[in-house]
Structure formats: C-alpha cells, structure tokens
Amino acid sequence: MAAFPKCGEHVRLTMKLTTTAFLALTTLFLAHCNKEKAAIDAQAHASKEVINDEKRAVNAAAENATKQADLNAAVDKANIEANKEITQAQLDADKKTADAEAAAAKAKIDAAAK
C-alpha cells in the first residue's frame, strides 16, 4: 500500500500541484504581458523615430527656405539700389538738359538784344 498516499499526504500533494499549476499559469500570463508590453514599447519607439525624422526634415526645409528668402532679399535690395542709381542718373541728366536749355534760351535772348 505504499503506492497510495495517506489521507493527509493526499491533501498536501494536491495543494502542491495546485500551487505549482497556479505559479506556472501566472508565469505564462506575465510572460505574455511582457511580450505585449515589449511590442508596445517597440511600436512607440518606432513612432517616436518617425516623428523625430519628420521634425529634422521640417527643420532642414525651414533652414533652406530661410536661406532662399535671405538670397531673394539680397537680390531685391540690389535691384532697388540699381533702380535708385538709374533714376538718379536720369534725373541728373534731365537737370543738365534743363540747365543747357536755359543757357541756350539766355544766349538767344542776348543774341537778339545785340
């Protein structure tokens, strides 16, 4: 009769098996949860990397746009300065023409008076 456990041993054996089964199931459940958490963490990390890459691209595009705007402003400023110089040269020429016409009119009056 050694093959059959005694009455008190049967209860202890059942409790040991129940406890072992419970621990095994808990371990499996926690391992599964950890895998899910790891997958969530990996997805979050990938999402953050994509966002960081987009931020870098936006910063680069803004920097390029700023440089282009600075170049365009320099060209516009140079064109304004050139137009100012051209206009001033035309006005100086108009002034000399007006002075020459006035001098010619005075000379004509002086010639007619003699």
Per-residue pLDDT tens digits for 20-47? 877 777 777 767 777 777 788 889 999 9
pLDDT tens for residues 55-65? Answer: 999 999 999 99
Give a yes or no: residue 53 inside a domain.
Answer: yes
Q: Does the pLDDT of residue 7 top 90, yes or no?
A: no
Domain count, the chain: 1
Give a yes or no: residue 89 inside a domain.
Answer: yes
Cα separation values, 66 from 61, 71, 74, Å: 9, 9, 12
Distance CA(12)–CA(47), nearest Å, equals 52
Give me the domain span that covers residue 76.
Answer: 43-114
Give a yes or no: residue 79 inside a domain.
Answer: yes
Give a yes or no: residue 21 inside a domain.
Answer: no
Give a yes or no: residue 107 inside a domain.
Answer: yes
Q: Are 13 and 5 in contact (CB under 8 A)?
A: yes
Comparing CA positions, the residue from 12, 17, 9, 16 lying closest to residue 1 is 9
Give a yes or no: residue 29 inside a domain.
Answer: no
- pLDDT reported for residue 1: 43
